[in-house]
Amino acid sequence: MKPKVYLTLPVPEEVRKYIAEHCEISQWEEEGPIPREVLFQKIADVDGLFTSGGKIDAELLEHGPNLKVVSNMSVGYNNFDLKAMKQRSVIGTNTPYVLDETVADLAFALILATARRITELDGFIKDRKWEPTKDDEMFYGLDVHRSTIGIIGMGRIGEAIAQRARFGFNMDVLYYNRSRKPDAEKKFGTEYSDLESLLKRSDFVVLMTPLTPETHHLIGENEFKLMKKSAIFINVSRGQTVDEKALIQALQNKEIYGAGLDVFQKEPIEKDNPLLDMTNVVTVPHIGSATLKTRDAMAMRAAENLVAVVTGMEPIDQVPYAK
């Protein structure tokens, strides 16, 4: 008999066919995310779970006694309770590598849009406010080329951002990481920096760390006060890596110039969040990997990880258990 797997989201037909060659599939077909209580029922007799989020904790694992693997269609896995998974010998997998360049593209899109006030001025024109004037200073933004970028978290995506910055925009590239990256320094001409110095020197601060207990609210009130008043803050990591109240305060007090945000403390963002009323903040709805080509590649990678474990093989991308 084929192992049973459950999919909490739709996948491309090619991916579904691949899984079906090896597994018996059941899937959530309704609109919106699957309710947690329904998921408890659906995983009662399955060997593998394919998902893109949602808390995987001891409570859920109790309802899936046969689970061997939870395959996340995401590079992040902060939704995994790794200690609980280890106790039940449930393997967690993710989908690194395939989305690196796409997320780096978005990071630079946010840099350019915020620096040159693209969304603000697009709204200005579409609101029919553009009139003849001799004073065009009201449209001025900031230069990106030959400025200084500070990247916090020099993983694969950080390196892809550094490549674009150094060779595409001739920027000076600083980086802060828990360990130095001599290869990246040589390859991209980056300079290793402590966090305080990076924040003080950078025109653009890009946060690219994973969410861990150590990085929760890594950037807060003190960090924003260290930045230049002309600095732009970019976050394409996780919303909880930033103290959002401190960010709002820094923007309101003009301690920094602006921000470009793909992630937020609460998602979807609350409708009364002050960030939504700030013209110097560019917001997008957590779309770091959201292109058709990349999402299809992520789905196939997650499927390969899923199938590997339920058929008794090693997955490509097993995440490390918590110590």
Which residue of the set 14, 196, 267, 270 is catalytic? 267
Q: Which two tokens stand for residue 83?
A: 């200690």
Tokens 């393997």 correspond to 91
DSSP H helical segments within 213-287, as ranges? 221-226, 244-252
Which residue of the set 164, 238, 295, 301 is catalytic? 238
Q: Which regions of the chain does DSSP assign to beta strands (E)? A: 4-7, 24-27, 48-51, 69-72, 91-93, 148-152, 172-176, 191-192, 204-207, 232-235, 258-261, 281-283
Q: Say if CB 130 and CB 139 are below 8 A apart.
A: no
SS3 204: strand
Distance CA 47, CA 32 (A): 24
Q: Is 178 exposed, middle or buried (0-12, 13-18, 19+ CB in 10 A)?
A: exposed
Amino acid type, 5:
V
Q: Quote the DSSP letter at residue 275.
A: G
238 a catalytic residue:
yes
The residues that are catalytic are 238, 267, 286
